[in-house]
Amino acid sequence: MKKKSFYLLTYGCQMNEYDSRLIAEILSKEGYKEVKDESKADIIVMNTCSVRKHAEQRVVGRTGDLQRLREDKPGLIIGLVGCMAQNLIDKGEKIKGVDFMVGPDNYEEIPRIIDGLDSLDSLAMVIKKEKTILYEGVYARQDNSVSAFVPVMRGCENFCTYCIVPYVRVGLQMRSSKDILNEVRGLLKKGIKEIILLGQSVNQYDDSKVDFPGILKMVSETSVSRLGFFTSHPYYTTQKLIDVIAEGENIYKWIHLPLQSGSNKILKKMNRKYTKERYMELISKTREKIPNISLTTDIIVGFPGETDEDFQETMEIMKEIQFDFAYMFKYSDRERTSAYNLKPKIPESVKAKRLAELIEIQHKIIRIKNEQLIGTIQEVLVEYKGRKNNGWRGKTKQNKIVVVEGKTLPGEIVKVKITGLNGWTPCGVIIDKGKNT
């Protein structure tokens, strides 16, 4: 029988993006064929996120929309995978119109489940594993010619009180440095230029022989042109790590350090394991060693018990640090987390007001920072041609997105003169081919 075609739809974080490519590899190896147009697919796999309620609601909405495709294609299979799938499985819940659900630790079972569906007449399948697995020796099937993610660990056990991840990706497992380097070498052979090491708390990596600064250094000693990592936990950020970033010629001068809140009272309730003073000290040490480093962060407003004063402390620290970029969220109450039981909850209207205030100030900071780039020369890794032919998209050594004009190709590193901003995105012209290692 001819194997079916599949289409992958991805929500959520970089780990989910990686996992979708892992699923692509697992299905392709079994003879299934990936298509890039969902209307041509026999199977639609939705890789989902449960970090905020909004992410889950979007998936429910999309599942409803997909039922319309079924009218033309009665045999269409719809699968839900990822963190939200695991969350539903654990709670014993289902979504109407979904044929199978698989959590992040059971992806190798997907082909068997799909094969089984034929004979079971599209029955929903639910399975569970107790602990995170590493998929040793199974490497994601890349569909980007320039850049790739490589996880160094899977799962999380930090238990920040707002976060669902430790419940849906249970436990923490370190990949061996050997397996990581094998995946990296394979990617480099295929021409990949940029590698981003991944983990829910990536700098916690330690396989008992090699720690995170160690694996970062090992990967930087390969022929990779650009190397980054995401997402760091301030608690595990050490001077040794800062030194490795400073010394690695091909390592992005960028670190994403989620602060979450500027109030010590809230940080404690979040179980973040640092104070704002300790965080500030880390920023000072980092900037001292690497003055041009780009610092980015995540902030949650409206955590249970957050007063106006607590929020003002977050505003103050944001003004003081001047992050290059920030992902800013309203707290979303997640069943199963311990913050779910914390009171008082902050009204939606207050959360929305605080978020708007924070976004306004952060956007001003980004604009000022990007204006400072005008007139400078930047080394840019070219990624792809933008839509509507409006130049090439690339990234500076600080991992800042820029749009550049000139003759180049994806994967090239070029020297660019920044000439202005488009919105807040720096734009420039290629003045030299740069080096192409």
Count CA atoms closer than 13 A to 364's CA, side-chain side. Answer: 8
- Nearest of 71, 88, 84 to residue 13 by alpha carbon: 84
For ligand SF4, which residue of 22, 51, 95, 148 counts as binding (CB under 6 A)? Answer: 51
Interaction residues for ligand SF4, span 357-376 (CB under 6 A)? none
Joined together, the tokens standing for residue 21 give 């490519």
Identity of the residue, 41 or 83, whose beta carbon is nearer to ligand 5AD in the bound complex: 83
Asked if 16 interacts with ligand SF4 (CB under 6 A), we say: yes
Identity of the residue, 127 or 350, whose beta carbon is nearer to ligand SF4 in the bound complex: 127
Q: How far is the CB of 199 from ligand SF4 (least distance, A)?
A: 10
Instruction: Give the count of beta carbons closer than 10 Å to the beta carbon of residue 123.
Output: 11
CB 410 within 8 A of CB 418: no
d(CA 273, CA 80): 34
Task: Name the segment binding ligand SF4 (CB under 6 A); options: 48-56, 179-187, 306-314, 417-425.
Answer: 48-56
Asked if 45 interacts with ligand SF4 (CB under 6 A), we say: no
CB 286 within 8 A of CB 293: yes
Identity of the residue, 18 or 311, whose beta carbon is nearer to ligand SF4 in the bound complex: 18
DSSP state of 20: H
In the complex, the residues that contact ligand 5AD under the rule CB under 6 A are 51-52, 162-163, 258, 260, 298, 300, 329, 331-332, 334
Helix-, strand-, coil-residue percentages of the chain, each rounded to 5 = 40, 25, 35
Q: For the chain, how far is it from start to end, CA to CA, in angstroms?
A: 46
Asked if 15 interacts with ligand SF4 (CB under 6 A), we say: yes
Asked if 50 interacts with ligand SF4 (CB under 6 A), we say: yes
Asked if 165 interacts with ligand SF4 (CB under 6 A), we say: yes
Identity of the residue, 259 or 413, whose beta carbon is nearer to ligand 5AD in the bound complex: 259
d(CA 328, CA 101): 30
Q: With 0-12 CB in 10 A as exposed, 13-18 as middle and 19+ as buried, what is 366? A: middle
| Residue carrying the six token digits 């820029």 | 402
Identity of the residue, 49 or 402, whose beta carbon is nearer to ligand SF4 in the bound complex: 49
Interaction residues for ligand SF4, span 77-96 (CB under 6 A)? 82-83
Q: Which among ligand SF4, ligand 5AD, none contacts residue 286 (Cβ within 5 to 8 A by kind)?
A: none
Rg (CA), the chain: 22
| Residue in the shown chain whose Cβ atom is closest to ligand 5AD | 298
Q: With 0-12 CB in 10 A as exposed, 13-18 as middle and 19+ as buried, what is 222? A: middle
3 state DSSP class of 94: coil
Q: Which among ligand SF4, ligand 5AD, none contacts residue 258 (Cβ within 5 to 8 A by kind)?
A: ligand 5AD
Helices vs strands, H then E, count in the chain: 12, 19
Q: How far is the CB of 267 from ligand 5AD (least distance, A)?
A: 12
Q: How far is the CB of 376 from ligand 5AD (least distance, A)?
A: 30
H/E element, 102: strand 100-102
Asked if 12 interacts with ligand SF4 (CB under 6 A), we say: yes
DSSP string, 105-131: T-GGGHHHHHHHHHHHTS--EE---SS
| Residue in the shown chain whose Cβ atom is closest to ligand SF4 | 12
- Nearest of 327, 263, 270, 264 to residue 295 by alpha carbon: 327
Task: Name the segment binding ligand SF4 (CB under 6 A); options: 36-44, 119-127, 129-137, 161-169.
Answer: 161-169
Asked if 151 interacts with ligand SF4 (CB under 6 A), we say: no
Asked if 46 interacts with ligand SF4 (CB under 6 A), we say: no
Identity of the residue, 90 or 371, whose beta carbon is nearer to ligand 5AD in the bound complex: 90
Q: Which among ligand 5AD, ligand SF4, none contacts residue 411 (Cβ within 5 to 8 A by kind)?
A: none
Query: How many residues lie near ligand SF4 (CB under 6 A)?
Result: 12
Instruction: Give the count of beta carbons closer than 10 Å to the beta carbon of residue 74.
Output: 7
Q: Which among ligand SF4, ligand 5AD, none contacts residue 162 (Cβ within 5 to 8 A by kind)?
A: ligand 5AD
H/E element, 418: strand 413-422
Q: Which among ligand 5AD, ligand SF4, none contacts residue 49 (Cβ within 5 to 8 A by kind)?
A: ligand SF4
Identity of the residue, 293 or 299, whose beta carbon is nearer to ligand SF4 in the bound complex: 299
Q: Which residues bind ligand SF4 (CB under 6 A)?
A: 12-13, 15-16, 49-51, 82-83, 164-165, 169
